[in-house]
Structure 1
Amino acid sequence: MFSVYALYSKAFNKIYIGFSSDVEKRLASHNDERNTGWTSKYQPWKLVYTEACQTKTEALARERQLKSSRGRDFIRRLLAD
Structure 2
Amino acid sequence: MTYVYILRSLQTPERFYVGVTGDLRSRLKRHNAGEVSHTSKFAPWEIKTYVAFSEEGQAHAFERYLKSGSGRAFAMKRL
Q: Which residue of 1 aligns with 2:69?
A: 69
User: Which of the pair is proportionally richer in helix?
Assistant: 1
The alignment's TM-score, normalised by the length of structure 1, stands at 0.84
Percent same amino acid at aligned positions?
A: 37
Gaps of 5+ in 1: none
1:43 maps to 43
- Larger mean CA deviation between 53-62 and 70-79 belongs to 70-79
Report the alpha carbon displacement of residue 40 of structure 1 after superposing the two structures with TM: 0.4
The match for 2:26 is 25
8 Å CA contact 2:30, 2:36 repeated in 1? no
**Cα 1:55–1:36 shift into 2, 3 Å:** closer
CA distance in 2, matches of 1:8, 1:19: 15
C-alpha separation in 2, matches of 1:4 and 1:71:
13
Residue 52 in structure 1 maps to residue 52 in structure 2:
yes
Q: C-alpha distance in 2, partners of 1:31/1:54?
A: 26
* Paired residue total: 78
Amino acid corresponding to residue 67 of structure 1 in structure 2: K
Indicate the RMSD between aligned Cα atoms, in angstroms: 1.6
Match of 2:7 in 1: 7
Deviations along 1:5-58, one digit per CA (max 9) or x if unpaired, are 00011422211001111111100110014x251110110111001001112111
